[in-house]
């Protein structure tokens, strides 16, 4: 199945996690398109059989580009959607137990979809971001676990394959 993996990222770690997910889906035989939410065209959505959307968390909210894209999907896409967040708080302990949600449910609601651990590279932050992250006490934290991300992506890949098989068997049913 053709899968669009798209991310809203400010400093790159959500994009990196999206790339790991895309790579894993590709290894499972799916056709992949991986790009930032700002670069996704209408045709990319129309051609996708499934979409994985990831968004970084800032100030206890999802990046607005990610939330806006989720709203766009709610109106423009009827297929399967997997969501994930990336942050340093409320990181999901066992993301393998958290399954698909639909775009209308998007919002920073830990537990509805997995929040993977991200990273703060202090050197890349603006002065305002440094002050904010200092208040959160997350200077220099790196909670990324790319093996766990791969395991989650493998689960998604299997679910996408199952959806593809179900579609195929529906379309080959004899007409009576």
Ligand X SMILES: Cc1cc2nc3c(=O)[nH]c(=O)nc-3n(C[C@H](O)[C@H](O)[C@H](O)COP(=O)(O)O)c2cc1C
CA dist 128 → 90, 124, 131, 133, 171 (Å): 23, 12, 5, 9, 55
Secondary element (H or E) of residue 22: helix 13-27
4 closest CA partner among 37, 39, 51: 51
C-beta of 136: minimal distance to ligand X in Å?
6
Name the residue number minimizing CB distance to ligand X: 118
**In the complex with ligand X, which residue's Cβ is closer, 58 or 77?**
58
Interface residues with ligand X (CB under 6 A)?
9-14, 56-60, 86-89, 118-120, 125, 129, 132-133, 136, 138
**In the complex with ligand X, which residue's Cβ is closer, 32 or 138?**
138
**In the complex with ligand X, which residue's Cβ is closer, 132 or 163?**
132
C-beta of 156: minimal distance to ligand X in Å?
19
**In the complex with ligand X, which residue's Cβ is closer, 115 or 157?**
115
- On the 0-12 / 13-18 / 19+ scale of CB atoms within 10 A, 60 is exposed
C-beta of 160: minimal distance to ligand X in Å?
24
Contact (CB, 8 A) for 53 and 69: yes
C-beta of 20: minimal distance to ligand X in Å?
13
Tokens matching residue 143: 């909670």
């Amino acid at each position: 199945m053709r899968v669009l993996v798209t991310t809203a990222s400010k400093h790159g770690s959500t994009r990196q996690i999206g790339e790991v997910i895309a790579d894993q889906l590709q290894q499972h035989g799916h056709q992949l398109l991986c790009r930032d939410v700002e670069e996704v065209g209408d045709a990319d959505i129309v051609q996708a059989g499934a979409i994985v959307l990831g968004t970084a968390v800032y100030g206890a909210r999802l990046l607005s580009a990610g939330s806006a894209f989720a709203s766009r999907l709610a109106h423009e896409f009827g297929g399967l959607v997997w969501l994930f967040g990336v942050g340093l708080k409320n990181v999901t302990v066992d993301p393998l137990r958290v399954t698909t949600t639909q775009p209308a449910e998007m919002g920073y609601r830990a537990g509805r979809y997995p929040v993977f651990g991200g990273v703060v590279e202090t050197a890349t932050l603006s002065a305002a971001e440094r002050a904010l992250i200092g208040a959160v006490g997350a200077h220099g934290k790196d909670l990324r676990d790319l093996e766990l991300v791969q395991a989650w992506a493998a689960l998604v890949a299997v679910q996408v394959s199952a959806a593809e098989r179900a579609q195929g068997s529906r379309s080959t049913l004899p007409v009576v």
